[in-house]
């Protein structure tokens, strides 16, 4: 049986994924913040990975059926790989969450996504020449999106991590029990 803490974290991640469904500046979403949050909050690795990726997939499906219906379902494997890497980054925060570490991890996640996704666009696309100059152009063109990704990571990481901290103060039963973690891996 999952604890109220686990259900609360799942609900927060689903709510974060839903932010993709409302108007927002390009790339300014909670995608990587929810991956970082899941990695830091779930002690079961499978939950840490599964919940944020499943929430992302659900939001991708809803987007493909509504806002982007004319394009059909399309997903970017690179985004999911970067989310998984961000979950791993979040796992490094376990039991050591503080404002400075979360801020640094949110920035690192955004920079990582920028570097990997733009390299992927350059490598697999025809928009930019397949030389060093083309790669530089691709990265320069992606800078505004990168800044939005980092801003979204910072904003939503603050909301998720700060929100959980606030909820735990109001409902002490949501606090992590070291005995429960040791016994169940939650």
Span 17-21, average pLDDT: 92
CATH number of domain containing 130: 1.10.1760
Examine residue 101 and state whether it is found in any structural domain, yes or no: yes
pTM above 0.85, yes or no: yes
Q: Does residue 186 fall inside a structural domain?
A: no
In a domain, 72, yes or no: yes
Q: How many domains does the chain have?
A: 1
| 33-75-23 Cα angle (round to 5) | 55
**Per-residue CA distances from 88 to 37, 85, 138, 159 (Å):** 10, 5, 27, 20
Q: What is the pLDDT of residues 41-78, one digit of tens each?
A: 998 999 999 999 999 999 988 888 887 767 766 668 89
Q: What is the mean pLDDT of residues 132-152?
A: 96
Q: What percent of the chain lies above the pLDDT cut of 90?
A: 74
pLDDT at 179: 43
- Asked if the structure places residue 172 within a domain, the reply is yes
> Is pLDDT above 80 for 12?
yes
Band the pLDDT of 79: cuts 50, 70, 90. Answer: very high
Within-domain flag for 100: yes
**Looking at the domain assignment, is residue 134 inside a domain?**
yes
Rounded Cα gap, residues 151 and 124, in angstroms:
27
Q: Does the residue 136 lie in any domain?
A: yes
Cα gap 132→41, rounded to integer Å? 40
Q: Which domain holds residue 36?
A: 4-181
């Amino acid at each position: 049986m999952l604890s109220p803490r686990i259900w609360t974290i799942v609900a927060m991640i689903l709510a974060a994924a839903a932010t993709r469904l409302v108007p927002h500046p390009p790339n300014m979403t909670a995608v990587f913040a929810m991956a970082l949050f899941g990695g830091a909050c779930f002690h079961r690795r499978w939950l840490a990975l599964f919940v944020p990726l499943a929430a992302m997939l659900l939001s991708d499906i809803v987007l493909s059926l509504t806002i982007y219906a004319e394009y059909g379902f399309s997903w970017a494997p690179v985004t999911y790989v970067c989310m998984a890497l961000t979950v791993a980054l979040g796992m490094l925060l376990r039991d050591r969450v503080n404002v400075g570490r979360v801020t640094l991890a949110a920035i690192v996640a955004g920079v990582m996504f920028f570097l990997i996704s733009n390299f992927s666009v350059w490598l697999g696309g025809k928009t930019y020449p397949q030389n060093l100059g083309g790669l530089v152009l691709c990265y320069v063109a992606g800078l505004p999106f990168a800044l939005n990704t980092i801003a979204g990571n910072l904003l939503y990481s603050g909301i998720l991590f700060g929100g959980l901290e606030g909820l735990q103060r109001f409902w002490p039963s949501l606090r992590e029990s070291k005995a429960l973690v040791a016994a169940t891996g939650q």
